[in-house]
């Protein structure tokens, strides 16, 4: 399954592998498959960085910017923790800031006995988080989504941001680290009062579809509730089932608002606005399907998995930005993309950074509900997984 029946719109499965020659890449400088775990890379490490990190007794993980950028950069934290483990260095790794709870779900946060006496600490995070805690730190690692290129190694490209962040830090640290693609860490889930309440009244039974309407750029990225409802109606009719559609919106007036709409022929609709990301991380794995624009909550849905590793297929809608860069790289995280999104992928470009004027198809109306429904039905039936 690779195409959508709409001009210029294509489906890109999460398991798709991109040959290095198909996109603009930067050679990694070594073939990872040929370097044993823990062995030095055939590239010089950053001696200053390695020396300072080796002397630290504490690492602060500090992200304060956009949720999506934060989630896709957690692979850098994973790379740093993997490096500590390879070197058998015991260091306290602590998360701070608004995403501390989510970061703790990755299992990367530890508080072992400190074995160094220097009292030095390192800070890793986005620019806002690092700058707020830079005073007195021995080393600061800024995870900038615009910085790491699309790497290529062993004949393949690594276009997703988690791979870019992980491999960029591996190169700087100079040691072959443990992870292989996909590099993004999962977010563990558990019991949740809101989720249990929704389940008890039947919203999580049967064909439950979560649709992300929250976005920081509604004029460009809002697929709209009306289109999602039309999508759910066509899926339900094809599946000969009643669908329950959860419309996941952002904060409104700082509060949580949950309200049901009048039932339609094939779809029951529940609007969920302002629910914290920590609760949504427990909700998404209980759904059968998640569809969303290119935004943080869609990435969250892809990273959140049940205790047994289970979770739904996640479909991101990409009108302007690269459909490969702004994904988790996980096999169940798929994309439906316009021609412009594919061109951004092929040239490793960004319409904002590179000041590229959007094309006519670079809007959410480029994805007709009927065409998108065919992709979702195939995924629900096991195709493309």
Return the minimum-mean-pLDDT range out of 118-132, 148-162, 227-241: 118-132
- pTM to 2 decimals? 0.94
Mean pLDDT of the chain: 92
What are the pLDDT digits (tens) for 75-103? Answer: 999 999 999 999 988 889 999 999 999 99
The mean per-residue pLDDT over the stretch 244-267 comes to: 88
The mean per-residue pLDDT over the stretch 264-269 comes to: 92
Same domain assignment for residues 299 and 342: yes
pLDDT > 60? residue 4: no
Same domain assignment for residues 123 and 226: no
Return the minimum-mean-pLDDT range out of 45-49, 53-57, 312-316: 53-57
The count of structural domains within the chain is: 2
Domain that holds residue 53: 31-185
Same domain assignment for residues 158 and 200: no
Task: Tell me which residue has tokens 């399907």.
Answer: 289
So what's the pLDDT on residue 220?
66
Same domain assignment for residues 103 and 206: no
Look at residue 70 and tell me if it is in a domain: yes
| Residues counted in the chain | 385
So what's the pLDDT on residue 219?
58
The mean per-residue pLDDT over the stretch 294-311 comes to: 94
Q: Which of 122, 150, 185 is the last residue of a domain?
A: 185
Look at residue 362 and tell me if it is in a domain: yes
Same domain assignment for residues 250 and 165: no
pLDDT > 50? residue 69: yes
Return the minimum-mean-pLDDT range out of 297-301, 310-314, 379-383: 379-383
Look at residue 317 and tell me if it is in a domain: yes
Same domain assignment for residues 352 and 220: yes
Look at residue 21 and tell me if it is in a domain: no
Q: Residue 116 — pLDDT band, cuts 50, 70, 90?
A: very low
Q: Which of 149, 166, 185 is the last residue of a domain?
A: 185
pLDDT > 80? residue 6: no
Look at residue 62 and tell me if it is in a domain: yes
Same domain assignment for residues 232 and 363: yes
The mean per-residue pLDDT over the stretch 188-214 comes to: 95
Look at residue 179 and tell me if it is in a domain: yes
The mean per-residue pLDDT over the stretch 110-120 comes to: 63
Percent with pLDDT over 70 in the chain? 93
In CATH, what number is assigned to the domain containing residue 293? 3.40.50.2000
Q: Residue 384 — pLDDT band, cuts 50, 70, 90?
A: low
pLDDT > 50? residue 26: yes
């Amino acid at each position: 399954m690779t195409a959508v029946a709409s001009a210029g719109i294509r489906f890109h499965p999460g398991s798709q592998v991109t040959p290095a020659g198909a996109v603009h890449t930067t050679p990694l400088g070594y073939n990872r498959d040929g370097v044993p775990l823990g062995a030095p890379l055939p590239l010089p490490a950053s001696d200053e960085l390695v020396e300072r990190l080796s002397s630290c007794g504490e690492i602060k993980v500090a992200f304060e910017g956009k949720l999506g950028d934060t989630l896709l950069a957690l692979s850098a934290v994973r790379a740093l923790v993997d490096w500590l483990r390879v070197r058998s260095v015991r260091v306290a790794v602590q998360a701070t800031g608004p995403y501390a709870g989510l970061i703790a779900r990755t299992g990367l946060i530890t508080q072992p006995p400190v074995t160094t006496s220097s009292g030095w600490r390192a800070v890793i995070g986005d620019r806002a988080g690092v700058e707020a805690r830079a005073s007195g730190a021995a080393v600061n690692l800024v995870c900038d989504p615009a910085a790491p290129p699309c790497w290529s190694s062993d004949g393949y490209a690594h276009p997703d941001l988690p791979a870019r962040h992980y491999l960029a830090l591996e190169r700087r640290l100079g040691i072959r680290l443990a992870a292989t693609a996909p590099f993004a860490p999962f977010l563990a889930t558990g019991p949740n009062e809101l989720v249990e309440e929704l389940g008890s009244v039947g919203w999580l039974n049967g064909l439950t579809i979560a649709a992300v309407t929250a976005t920081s750029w509604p004029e460009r990225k809002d697929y709209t509730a009306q289109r999602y409802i039309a999508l759910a109606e066509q899926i339900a009719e094809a599946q000969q089932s009643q669908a329950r559609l959860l419309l996941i919106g952002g904060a409104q007036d700082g509060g949580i608002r949950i309200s049901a709409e009048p039932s339609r022929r094939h779809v029951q609709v529940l609007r969920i606005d302002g629910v914290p990301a920590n609760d949504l991380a427990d909700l998404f794995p209980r759904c059968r399907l998640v569809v969303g624009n290119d935004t943080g909550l869609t990435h969250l849905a892809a990273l959140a998995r049940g205790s047994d590793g289970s979770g739904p297929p996640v479909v991101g809608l990409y009108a302007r930005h690269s459909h490969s860069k702004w994904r988790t790289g996980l096999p169940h995280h798929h994309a439906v993309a316009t021609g412009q999104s594919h061109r951004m992928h092929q040239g490793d470009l960004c319409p904002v950074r590179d000041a590229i004027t959007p094309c006519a198809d670079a809007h959410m109306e480029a994805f007709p509900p009927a065409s998108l429904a065919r992709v979702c039905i195939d995924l629900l039936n096991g195709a493309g997984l």
